[in-house]
Amino acid sequence: MKVERISRKFIKPYTPTPQNLKKYKLSLLDKCMGHMDFAVVLFYESKPRNKNELEESLEKVLVDFYPLAGRYTMNDHIVDCSDEGAVFVEAEAPNVELTVDQLVKNMEAQTIHDFLPDQYFPADAPNPLLSIQVTHFPCGGLAIGIVVSHAVFDGFSLGVFLAAWSKATMNPERKIEITPSFDLPSLLPYKDESFGLNFSEIVKAENIVVKRLNFGKEAITRLRSKLSPNQNGKTISRVRVVCAVIVKALMGLERAKTRDFMICQGINMRERTKAPLQKHACGNLAVSSYTRRVAAAEAEELQSLVNLIGDSIEKSIADYADILSSDQDGRHIISTMMKSFMQFAAPDIKAISFTDWSKFGFYQVDFGFGKPVWTGVRPERPIFSAAILMSNREGDGIEAWLHLDKNDMLIFEQDEEIKLLITT
């Protein structure tokens, strides 16, 4: 797809950041994220009447989200909130003759890169922490691509930012209703990186390809009907069902190789910590839950995999509930998690990682010209088999962005159960 970038500018906060907020210290979890970034693209069938209103509302919302307009100073472990600004790119896709709805129905996953700013910025200075590209289509629709540094934000935080930005655009004369807090660095301060780990030992996967899989309402309902409720008597979540189905198919690839499996799932700890936290707390507060090692032949039944994933998540929530408590040293908790990660990254393990973005409200982001017809994602560059799980537009299914080794993907796509469950 041909996308022409027309202009590139920096958008600065509408009013200067106060002097007492100029140095934003990173939290311990922020530092664990390193120099990665991630992105989401929102596709709309309409566009704003005033071509400048997205820029004008971005100026206003950056007043509250001031770290996003700053620059990361790696040696000092801070964001210099000097109001240098976020990147804002205007682009056009002149050769697209389809409607936006037609365009996204059969869009290849790799095409998502066309709608993101032309350079992916690492988190070190002087590069921006937030970059946005607005791509206009001849049909009258547009795509808004947002790239953000994982050093300052996680998926939940991006959802808060987009909700605030859209409300500021829709109601420019009203006070912004969503006010973020940036208290996590004081609750989980960065002290040092002495976890006793050597990340140079990690072997990164090569030849990773991405494919999006749609698990609709009917498929999930059919799978749930075969499963027992969880320990609390609640129906198994859509996300857990899809995770288990994907793992079951991947295990089928490994039985001949006799490698053990480990499954990782990210957990948003907001509303799960014993210490209270403000509703719109931004920064990184996601931890990783790791299952025990599992032989490929050990969990052939879907119910066993659902239970394995569920038990691991419940245990991790309990283990990390004290992460923000004043009488705890967060480094001990993070060190424990990182040691599990090193087992997960061992060469004799087949690792698969899941990230749940289904509750971050991306389909509710309305700038005043309608809600998105589709949302696409680009994660931090995966080094293992990985999947990001999103809600579909209707909110009753799951779209999985699956990253696998190229050869594994070719075999995975031929799994009979997968073929029966996914829709186009």
Confidence of residue 239 (pLDDT cuts 50, 70, 90): very high
Count the residues in the chain: 424
The amino acid occupying position 142 is L
Residue linked to tokens 């002097």: 19
- pLDDT digit string (tens) for 243-273? 999 999 988 876 656 778 999 999 999 999 9
Architecture of the domain spanning 4-187: 2-Layer Sandwich (3.30)
Q: Report the C-alpha dihedral over residues 379, 383, 387, 388, rounded to 10 degrees.
A: -20
Rounded to whole angstroms, the Cα distance separating 146 from 158 reads 9
Q: Which residue is catalytic, options 150, 280, 403, 408?
A: 150
- In angstroms, the first-to-last Cα distance of the chain is 21
Indicate the range of 70-74, 140-144, 228-232, 388-392 predicted with least confidence: 228-232
What pLDDT sits at residue 335?
80
- What does the pLDDT look like over 396-417, one tens digit per residue? 999 999 999 888 898 898 888 8
CATH number listed for the domain at residues 199-371+379-423: 3.30.559.10
Relative orientation angle of helices 155-170 and 53-64, to the nearest 10 degrees: 130
d(CA 307, CA 168): 43
Q: Is residue 150 annotated as a catalytic residue, yes or no?
A: yes
CB contact burial 191-224 (16+ within 10 A = b; e otherwise): eeeebeeeeeeeeeeeebebbbbebbeebbeebb
Closest CA to 245 of 370, 133, 389: 389
Question: Are the folds of 4-187 and 199-371+379-423 the same?
Answer: yes
Q: Is 403 a catalytic residue?
A: no
What band does 99 get if pLDDT is binned at 50, 70 and 90?
Answer: very high
pTM higher than 0.75 for the full model?
yes
Helices (H) and strands (E) in the chain, counts: 11, 17
260, 322, 366, 405: the active-site residue = 366
Per-chain mean pLDDT for the chain: 88
Using alpha carbons, select from 228, 295, 309 the residue that is nearest to residue 263.
Answer: 309
Task: Sketch the domain layout of the chain as residue ranges.
Answer: 4-187, 199-371+379-423
- pLDDT band of residue 392 (cuts 50, 70, 90) is very high
Query: Rounded to whole angstroms, how far apart are CA atoms 92 and 141?
Result: 11
CA 243 to chain centre: 16
Question: How many degrees, rounded to 5, is the angle at CA 193 between CA 334 and CA 291?
Answer: 30
For residue range 192-213, list pLDDT tens digits in order. 765 544 444 455 566 888 999 9
Rounded Cα distance, 4 and 169, in Å? 25
Predicted pLDDT of residue 125: 44
Residue 133 has pLDDT above 50, yes or no: yes
Q: How far is CA 417 from CA 24, 324, 350, in A?
A: 49, 42, 21
Mean pLDDT of 132-154: 95
Sign of the C-alpha dihedral computed for residues 46, 49, 51 and 55 taken in this order:
negative
Please name which of 221, 240, 220, 222 lies closest in space to residue 230, comparing C-alpha atoms.
240
The CA distance from 88 to 380, in Å, is 20
Q: Is the dihedral of CA 93, 372, 388, 396 positive or negative?
A: negative
